[in-house]
Each structure stands twice: as structure tokens, then as C-alpha cells.
A and B are shown apart, each in its own frame.
Chain A
Amino acid sequence: MTEPNTGSAYELALVRAVLADEEPAIEEFSHRLECVPRILSAQNARFGRPLDEHDLADVVQDTIVIILQKLRLFRGEGPLEGWIFRICCLEYLNSVRRRRRRKPVVDVQELPVPDAQIAKEERQMQDRETLYKALERLDPIEADAVRMKHFEGLTFEQMAERTGVSANTMKTRYYRGLERLEGIVGKDEGTAQGT
């Protein structure tokens, strides 16, 4: 996969142009979607390949439909591929669940994906969604710092280089973001446990 231009403003402009049916944007967007079959194949490999090529091709098509349906919700928080990745993970897991429901289980050994792995993936996905949604409620600058640090795995120096501010400023943004994020997540999960 070639590294795309992933500035937030650029990503948002691209998405808006796609939604406005602008041909050059649609062409570019189709190239950006090349990550979809790759991500789904990688997920399928992680799960022990429960889906065959035909199933996977169907999931690719379904995922692209979902991406288009949700495209208006894209806010430019990070690269488009990161946003697409979350949808791919969700759709992949849904398709594995659907396949399990369709196929009657004769022997536990025949289960393409063990229940425990599905449950673990669901927990991870839920955690991912909780964190991503909480990040959306932060100041965008602080949220970016947290995303770059943990989701992109950048050092503070790399973050500084990318944003053009000092590493110390990035540390402060990151720390404030983390502090607020802890408050949001703690409050949400406290509320969820209380209900």
C-alpha cells in the first residue's frame, strides 16, 4: 500500500468531493479503498481463514457499501485508512458471526473460529470503539496527540516533526488529552456499570 496524503483537511476535502460525485475524487477514493481487501484478508488470516475467497469477496463488497453509507460521518480524525480499518474489523466480525449462524455446528472441532476468540475480538472491538468515541469528544489537538502516540506509534519527536511544534508541546497536549480521556472513559464506564 502506498502511503496516502493523510492530512485531516485533505481527507475531509476528498470525502466531501466523493459525496459530491466528483469524478477525480471518486477515482482517488477507489485507490484508497484498496486497503479494504488487504485489511479483511489480514483479519481472515488472524482468525485462521474461516472465510474462503468467495466469502471474503462478498465481505469486501458489503464493507464498501457500509463505508459509503457512513462516509458522511467521517470527521477527518486521522487518516481515512484508520477509519476504514474500524469498519473493516466490525464487518469482518459480523460476517464471521453470520457464517457461524448459517452453518450448523456438528462438532466443536469443526468450528472455524473458536467462541473464545470471537468473544476476545468482540471485547477488543468494543474497547476500540469506546476509546475512539471518547477521543472524538476531546479537543482535536489533544486527541490528535493521543492518536499519534498510541494508534500510529509515533515518538514525541516524530509527532513534533509532523505537526511543526516542539516535542515538549506535544507532551503537554498528550498529557492533557490523556487526563481528559481518562475522565470521559471513567465516567462513561462508571455509568455503564451503574446501569
Chain B
Amino acid sequence: MTPDSNPAAEELLRALLVGDRRESDPELVALFAARPDLAARYRRMKGLVERLDSVGSLDREVLAQAKTLPGPEPGAMRAALDRARGRHRFRWWPLVALAALLVVGAVLVLRSRESQGPLPNSGSTLGSHEGKMKPVGVLRAPRYEEFSWDLPLPKGGHYALTFYADESKKAVLLRREDLRQPRWTPTSEERALLADKMTWEVEVFDAGGRPRPSACSASVSLVR
């Protein structure tokens, strides 16, 4: 939209739109014939006027009808307003307080679970050695630290520790033998070989290198 540079043409258009002139006015007929761009601009503005009139007249009609209707009981709107103010003012506070409590509760639960190691009932232990191996299940920690197990070692015997990529134990991630203590902490290089989700197995060998039946395995997954 650019106002016309011809003041006379602009004045005619203004007069037409404010109702001082009619479309049939010969001067306007001639102007629009000579200036199709101005005629198009007029049509757009006329369309806008019709839209404004349509909205305005409908709104006025509803408001006029509303004025004829009986009003609410005395004090009814004040009561409705007070109820609404109560809802408006206080509605968010319980929600905010509840959300804050939930956040605090969740943080406390997470911390307590972290301090307890693996989450209860969140993993599966393969075999019948549940409780003898740590860690098992879901471990909320940035990385694996110590692996430990509670399996008796025959005199002169050793443990063998094997980490598998899955429960089928087809893909070996890492294996450590000749362990004399029921615990093992990976070095950073070894840790890099471990997977976020894996199965680990402890085997027990006697002094003659024969496997004992007390081997056990468990799944563990790391949640950072």
C-alpha cells in the first residue's frame, strides 16, 4: 500500500471511503477508468470496510440483545468474581509446591539409590547367585568401578572373570584370569572395553585348574 502521489486522486478516494462521494460520481468513474491501480486499491479498502462492518454490526447486535436480557442476581457477579479470584490467585501455588516436592523427592530417591548401588529389582541375575555379585541390574553411575563377588575360593585356586556383550555369552568383551581376590577394579583401558549393558561371569577354579560348579553370572547396565 502506498498513498497515491496525486493529492487530488487521493482526496477523491478519501471522500469516497468516508461517504462524502459515491462510486457513481463521474469524477470517480473517470479516475478509476484511468487508474486501474487506484480502483484495485479502492476495492481492497472497500472489502476491508465490509469486513469491519460485518464484525461490528454482529457484535453490536449481540450486545444490544444482551442489554435486553435480565441481569444476574444482585451480588452474583461479585461472588463469581471472588471465586474466580481465589482460583486465579491460588491455583498455581499448590501446583508449584507439589512440583517442587516431587523434584525434591525424586532427587532424594535417586541419591539414596546411588548410595545403595544398584536399584532393587531392576536387573536380572543369571543362575542362583543373586546377592553374591555386585554390581547387578541397573547401575546409576557414570562408569563401572569395582566388581565383587562372594564365592569361596579353594586353596591354591583362582577366579576368572569374563564380560560378555549379551546374555547369550557369544561375544566376549574382556576376560581376566588368575584373580586371587573376590574383587576386581578395571583400569581405564579395561573400562573402555566394557559395554553400558553387558553380562559378567565369575568362574572358580581349583588349584589344579579345574572349574568348580560355583560359577555365577549376572547382567548389569549402566545408566548415566
Contacts and interface: CB of A to CB of B under 8 A. Distances in A.
A85 B59 contact: yes
Contacts of B78: 27, 30
Nearest to B50: A150
Interface in A162-185: 171-172, 174-175, 178-183, 185
A91 to B, nearest CB: 13
B27 to A, nearest CB: 17
A182 B17 CA distance: 13
Given A85-B63, A178-B17, A33 B77 contact: yes
B18 A156 contact: yes
B52 interface: yes
- Interface size of B as a range: 35 or more
A185 to B, nearest CB: 6
Interface in B100-129: none
Interface in B1-29: 1, 3, 14, 17-18, 20
- Interface size of A as a range: 35 or more
B59 A26 contact: no
Interface string B70-87: 011000011011011101
Given A37-B72, A81-B63, A175-B18, A186 B1 contact: yes
Contact of B65 (A27, A45, A81, A171): A45
Contacts of B45: 178-179, 182
A34 B72 contact: yes
Contacts of B17: 175, 178
Nearest to A68: B88
Interface string B43-59: 01100110111111111
Interface of B: 1, 3, 14, 17-18, 20, 44-45, 48-49, 51-60, 62-63, 65-67, 69, 71-72, 77-78, 80-81, 83-85, 87-88
Given A42-B62, A181-B48, 18 more contacts: A1-B66, A26-B85, A29-B81, A30-B78, A33-B77, A34-B72, A43-B62, A64-B81, A65-B87, A68-B81, A82-B59, A124-B54, A128-B59, A131-B55, A146-B52, A179-B3, A179-B45, A182-B1
